[in-house]
Amino acid sequence: MSYADHLISIKQLLLKNNAKIIAHYYVDEQVQRLAEDTGGFVGDSLEMARYGSKQKETTLIVAGVKFMGETAKILNPDKKVLMLDIEATCSLDTGCDYAEFKEFCDTHNDRDVVVYANTSAKVKSISDWVVTSSMAVPLIEHLTSLGKKLIWAPDKYLGNYVIDTTGADMLLWDGSCIVHEEYKTIELKNMIAKHPDCDVLVHPESPRSIIQLANTVGSTTRLIEASKASKKKYIIVATEKGILYQMKKFSPNKIFLEAPTEGEGATCKSCGRCPWMNLNIVQKLLDVFNAKTNEIVLSRDIINKAKKPIDRMINFNLNNKINRAS
Ligand code: CIZ
């Protein structure tokens, strides 16, 4: 089937089922295009959640990973939320088990609990704050100015970046993203040396030695903005390569290079591609309404508890007018 045929079929299915597609920057390029061309949305997890809440359609199709579907459900409990693939998860989410995390929090109950959006609804339900990478630094600065001691979970690299930037007193959970953890420092230095006329854009889920080589460190939205603003010919990108679709769309004349994941210490995970984001393929957009097993189901209790720290995040963002591109 051609792209045009897919587009016609998917538009009809969406109309018939009163549905809209909400996709993440990290999914397959064709899926992002189909979301855009059917009047849906592509963005980071915070924007996806916000956008979903404003739609009149009764069904949201989430092309991304499970925590994004759960956040969409928490903010839209009366809508049906369908994942393109219910097995699509995230190593940060699976690496932060609810029972173990609860024990950790109970042991340090003098600390406020801040969790990254990349966690399960259950983990969010026992947290004080949810953050995305776009607002981690300003929120932690704010909490630190109030004299708060914190627990941070699950990404230790993002946690360390926040501590380096804000000086916060945070206990870190030992989690990591299997994609960002794989970037290789010596190989990145070599790539920069080969392309001196370059900007280096790095997501803060990367190790500190990679972050130290960046011109810009930030969320997916921030990195896309930085790629647009860059005056350089070469842009080296250290984040999931699905994002390159958006970057190339806005800057067709720039040359984008994927930060190296091969080299000393590389494993079969080192491909710069998230295996779970990669489950979001076009065929599943055609099958999504018949799949039966891909609906996000959460109890009212979890929805009510997890909504509190998510609402706090959204309100903090609004009150502090954090730039969408930060
Ligand atoms: O929050 C998100 O969407 C993720 C996973 C990354 C980012 O930086 O936007």
CATH number, domain with residue 82: 3.40.50.10800
Task: Looking at the structure, tell me whether residues 205 and 256 fall in a common domain.
Answer: yes
Do 189 and 249 lie in one domain? The reply is: yes
Say if 82 falls within a structural domain.
yes
pLDDT of residue 66: 97
Which atom of ligand 1 sits closest to the CA of residue 134?
A: 8
Q: So what's the pLDDT on residue 240?
A: 96
Which residue CA neighbors atom 5 of ligand 1 most closely? 45
Domain holding 36, by residue range, is 3-89+278-295
Helical packing angle, 300-319 and 66-75, nearest 10°: 90
Structure tokens at 150: 């914190």
pLDDT at 326: 43
Residue range 161-165: mean pLDDT, rounded:
98
Q: Has residue 70 been placed in a domain?
A: yes
Pick from 22, 27, 32, 45 the residue to mutate for probing ligand 1's pocket: most ligand atoms within 8 Å of its CB.
Answer: 45
> Does residue 300 fall inside a structural domain?
no
Q: Establish if 80 belongs to a structural domain.
A: yes
pLDDT tens, position by position, 6-25: 999 999 999 999 999 999 99
Query: In 3D, which of 241, 248, 234 has the Cα closest to residue 278?
Result: 241
* pLDDT for res 321: 58
Phi, psi of 19 (to 5 degrees): -130, 160
Whether residue 33 is found in the same domain as residue 68: yes
In a domain, 158, yes or no: yes
Predicted confidence at residue 7, as pLDDT, reads: 97
More confident residue, 46 or 176: 176
Cα radius of gyration (the chain) = 19
Same domain flag for 79 and 161:
no
Q: What letters, b where the CB count within 10 A reaches 16 and e where it falls short, cover 201-230?
A: bbbbbbbeebbebbebbbbbbbbbbbbeeb
Sheet arrangement for strand 59-63? 41-43, 19-24, 59-63, 80-83
Q: Is the pLDDT of residue 324 over 50?
A: no
Proportion of the chain above pLDDT 90, given as a percent: 89
pLDDT over threshold 80, residue 252: yes
Q: Are residues 136 and 199 in the same domain?
A: no
CA 201/CA 239 separation, integer angstroms: 8
Give yes or no: residues 25 and 67 share one domain.
Answer: yes
Q: Could you give the CA distance from residue 239 to residue 221 in angstroms, rounded to a whole number?
A: 12
Q: Are residues 319 and 171 located together in one domain of the fold?
A: yes
Which pTM value belongs to this model?
0.94
104 falls within a domain:
yes
Decide if pLDDT at 323 tops 90. Answer: no
Same domain, yes or no: 103 and 162: yes
- The CA 5 to ligand 1 mean position distance, Å, reads 31
* pLDDT above 80 for 213: yes
Q: Do both 34 and 83 map to the same domain? A: yes
Higher-confidence position of 289 and 272: 289
- Specify whether 82 is located in the same domain as 143: no
Verify that 171 and 226 share a domain, yes or no. no
What is the position in ligand 1's atom list of the atom closest to the CA of 132? 1
Supply the mean pLDDT for the chain.
Answer: 94
The beta strands (E) that lie in 207-290 are given as 216-217, 234-238, 255-258
DSSP string, 119-146: S-HHHHHT-SEEE-TTTHHHHHHHHHHT
Question: What pLDDT digit, counting tens, does each position of 226-241 carry?
Answer: 999 999 999 999 999 9
Pocket of ligand 1 (CB under 6 A): 24, 44-45, 117-118, 132-133, 203, 219-220
Same domain? For 98 and 84 the reply is no
Q: What pLDDT is attached to residue 266?
A: 62
Res 105: pLDDT: 98
Q: What angle do CA 147, 149, 150 make, to 5 degrees?
A: 135
Residue 33, pLDDT > 50, answer yes
Inside any domain, residue 36: yes
Q: Note whether residue 109 is domain-resident.
A: yes
- CA-25 nearest atom, ligand 1: 3
Mutation pick for ligand 1 pocket among 25, 91, 132, 155 (CB with most ligand atoms within 8 Å) = 132
Number of structural domains, the chain?
A: 3
